[in-house]
Amino acid sequence: IQKLELKLKEIDVHISDCDRLSNKKDPSTDGSVTLVDTVDLLEVVLDSDSVEAISTEFCGTIVETKMEEDLFVTGRYETYEDSKFEPVKESSVIDSNKCITRSPSSDMISQECLKIRNLELELSLANVNLSKLKESLLETETNHQELQEQNEKTIHNKSCVIEDLQNQLKNVTEEVSEIKNVADSKVEIIQKLEESLTDAKTTCTKLELDMKSGDENLMGIKRKLLELREKLKIDLPSLKQNLVELRDSVQGNKNDLDSALVTTISSIEQQVSLFNTSILADVYAECEKEKDGLKTEIQQLKADLSKSQSDTSEKVISLSSMNDELVSQSAKLVMEFSVKSDEQRRDFNAALKDLETKNALEMEIELDKVRAEVRESSEEVERLNKLKNDLNKEVCDLKDIIEKQKDNLERVQKEEIEELKRTYTNDKEETIALLNQKYTSDFEVKEQEWKKQLAELKAKLESVQENLLSEKQQAISALTEQLIEQSK
């Protein structure tokens, strides 16, 4: 094709040369054109119109020449023989009738016309071959376009397949990421459960510390009550001994009545004053202090026990009311004892004033009354001691009940905590085992499936690439073969 294009360009150039020669007049030949020039032009001319123009111009130049015949013939012929003529591939039929000879050398001209006819035939054959080549070139172009379209279709189909495979890979990666997110959420849930377990452990330790502090408080109350009991035990025998000694001295010393009365009265006054000022006041103050301490501690115990002992609240309230009643009774008894002691003191002072005027019998009667009052006071003291003992017993019973309830609560709480720990550990182990089994099995199965899918996709991609390469190579080889055949 490139060679033909070059030939066409050369034809255009020589056509322009032909036009130039037709308008040219050589002074040496008087405007005639040589046969060599016309033959050179015919070697490259491919169009029929240009050949006709050149033949007419050639004939005209032969008619118009005025040179001598021998020189003309020999000169033209020799130049023709010397020229290296190559038959032209394209030509058109030249009308031989246009060649009109007017010179005496008509034979030579006829020979030249025959040669020109032969050249015209060769040109016509070259034109036929060129038309066939054009048709084959068009067919090859159409086949090439069809092959290109088929290749484009195959490439488009393969690209679609590759896009589908890429989309499948994206979907698989998204599923893998979703499964990873689910596994991460399960791990977070397990971590939260572990944190709640640690919080429960801390609360259990706090409760144990609170129970220990409550035990220590109860032991302190118990120690204080024991000290109070020991003090009362120490003080009461001394009072009893004093009263017994007073009684013995009164019964044994009737003769020394005056001195005995004075001494006894003074001793009684001192003892009563001591009893009222020191012992009773101290005992009362200690009782009040202990009572206040017991009240505060009982309130604290009530507050602590109300949180953990909803069932025993009624008993604690009843015991606290009983304790308040007993405290009020003890306060009333102390007030009555103080009032009676004051009345006895007044009566004793009045009796001392009346002793001077009264007889010995009256003195004995008064002494009997005093003895009776002393007995009553001792009985009241004993009754108070009994009440205190009863209060101490009730307080001890309350403490025992509280300790028992506390022990029961501690035991129940410990059992509940242990049960919760066991249940939590069992649930945790079961959930962890289930999650491990579930996700490990699912993940292994899916991982195997993904590996299989990836292997299949890779194999498909490799096969598609190999097919594309083979098809491209086949198409290229076919095109090259066709082009080689066409060029041949």
* Higher-scoring residue by pLDDT: 156, 71: 156
21 located within any domain: yes
Residue 45 has pLDDT above 50, yes or no: no
**φ, ψ of residue 469 in degrees (nearest 5):** -65, -45
The answer on 393 and 286 residing in a single domain is yes
- Taking only the tens place, the pLDDT of each residue in 270-282 is 665 665 566 556 6
- Is the same domain home to 88 and 230? no
Expressed as residue numbers, the domain containing 79 is 2-104
**How much is the pTM?**
0.22
Pair 244, 376 in one domain: yes
Q: What is the reported pLDDT for 423?
A: 79
Give percent of the chain with pLDDT exceeding 90: 0
The residue that leads in pLDDT, 452 or 294, is 452
pLDDT of residue 247: 64
**Per-residue confidence at 23, pLDDT binned at 50, 70, 90?**
low
Over residues 101-127, the pLDDT tens digits come to 444 456 777 777 787 777 778 777 877
| Domains contained in the chain, number | 2
C-beta separation of 117 from 96 below 8 A: yes
Assess whether 230 and 363 both reside in one domain. yes
- Per-residue pLDDT tens over the stretch 431-474: 777 766 766 676 677 777 777 877 787 777 787 778 777 777 78
Q: Which residues contact 399 (CB under 8 A, 6 or more apart)?
A: 218, 221, 222
Are residues 99 and 197 both part of a single domain?
Answer: no
On whether residue 371 sits in a domain, the answer given is yes
230-284 pLDDT, tens digit each = 776 776 677 667 666 766 665 665 555 566 556 666 666 666 566 556 655 665 6
| Sign of the alpha-carbon dihedral angle for 435, 436, 442, 443 | positive
pLDDT of 161 > 60? The answer is yes
Residue 57 sits in the same domain as residue 196: no
Residue 126 · residue 90 · CB < 8 Å: yes
Closest CA to 175 of 461, 443, 455, 460: 443
Buried b or exposed e, range 87-119, using 16+ CB within 10 angstroms: ebbbbbebeeeebebebebeebbeebbeebeeb
| Model confidence at 33: pLDDT above 60 | no
Helices 257-274 and 106-252: angle between axes, nearest 10 degrees: 170
Residue 130 lies in a domain: no
**Rounded to an integer, what distance in angstroms lies between the CA atom of residue 226 and that of residue 392?**
9
The residue-averaged pLDDT of 35-45 equals 44
Query: Does pLDDT of 296 surpass 50?
Result: yes
Specify the pLDDT at position 461.
Answer: 75
Confidence of residue 27 (pLDDT cuts 50, 70, 90): very low
46 in Cβ contact with 2 (< 8 Å): no
Of 142, 85, 141, the closest CA to residue 116 belongs to: 85
Which of 84, 104, 124 represents a domain boundary (last residue)?
104
> pLDDT value at position 295?
67
What is the separation of C-alpha 267 from the centre of its chain, rounded to a whole number of angstroms?
93
Cα–Cα distance measured from residue 266 to residue 273, given in angstroms and rounded to the nearest whole number: 10
Looking at beta carbons, which pairs linking 457-464 to residues 24 or more positions away fall under 8 Å? Answer: 457/165, 457/168, 457/169, 460/161, 460/165, 461/162, 461/165, 464/158, 464/161, 464/162
pLDDT score at 255: 58
Tokens of 131: 């038309």
75 and 211 inside one domain: no
Residues 342-380: pLDDT tens digits? 776 677 667 666 655 655 566 667 667 767 777 776 787
Q: How many CB atoms lie within 10 A of CB 209?
A: 10
> For the chain, percent helix, then strand, then coil, each to nearest 5?
90, 0, 10
Contact between 42 and 51 (Cβ < 8 Å) = yes
Classify the phi-psi angles of 30: left when phi > 0, otherwise alpha if psi is within -120 to 50, otherwise beta. Answer: left
Judge if 403 and 300 occupy the same domain.
yes
In angstroms, rounded to a whole number, what is the distance separating the alpha carbons of residues 231 and 225? Answer: 10
Average pLDDT over residues 296-306: 67
Cα gap 262→249, rounded to integer Å: 12
Can you read off the two tokens belonging to residue 198? 């640690």
**Is residue 118 in a domain?**
no
**Domain-embedded: residue 140:** no
240-261 burial, b at 16+ Cβ within 10 Å, e below that, comes to: eeebeebeeebeeeeeebeebb
Which of 82, 104, 126 finishes a domain? 104
Say what the pLDDT of residue 39 is.
43
For the segment 299-315, the average pLDDT, to the nearest whole number, is 63
pLDDT of 422 > 50? The answer is yes
CA distance 84 to 39: 10
Distance (Å, rounded) from C-alpha 432 to C-alpha 436? 6
> Which of 104, 134, 161 is the endpoint of a domain?
104
CA–CA separation, 240 and 455 (whole Å) = 110
3-class secondary structure, 478? helix
Residue 318 lies in a domain: yes
The pLDDT score that the predictor gives to residue 83 is 38
Asked if the structure places residue 181 within a domain, the reply is no
Q: 30 lies in a domain?
A: yes
Spatial distance between the Cα atoms of 85 and 24, rounded to a whole number of angstroms: 23
Determine the 3-state secondary structure of 271 from DSSP.
Answer: helix
* Residue 71 and residue 206 share a domain: no
At 49 the pLDDT is: 46
**88 & 207 share domain:** no
DSSP 93-141: ---GGG----SS-HHHHHHHHHHHHHHHHHHHHHHHHHHHHHHHHHHHH
The overall longest dimension of the chain from CA atoms, in Å, is 226
Backbone angles phi, psi at 237, to 5 degrees: -60, -35
Answer positive or negative: Cα dihedral of 329, 332, 337, 343: negative
- Per-residue pLDDT of 59-95, as tens digits, reads 444 444 433 333 333 333 333 333 333 443 433 333 4
Q: Among positive and negative, which fits the CA dihedral 145, 147, 152, 157?
A: positive
CA distance 321 to 309: 18
Q: 220 and 98, same structural domain? A: no
Same domain, 100 and 198: no
CA 114 to chain centroid: 101
Query: How many angstroms separate the CA atoms of 401 and 208, rounded?
Result: 20
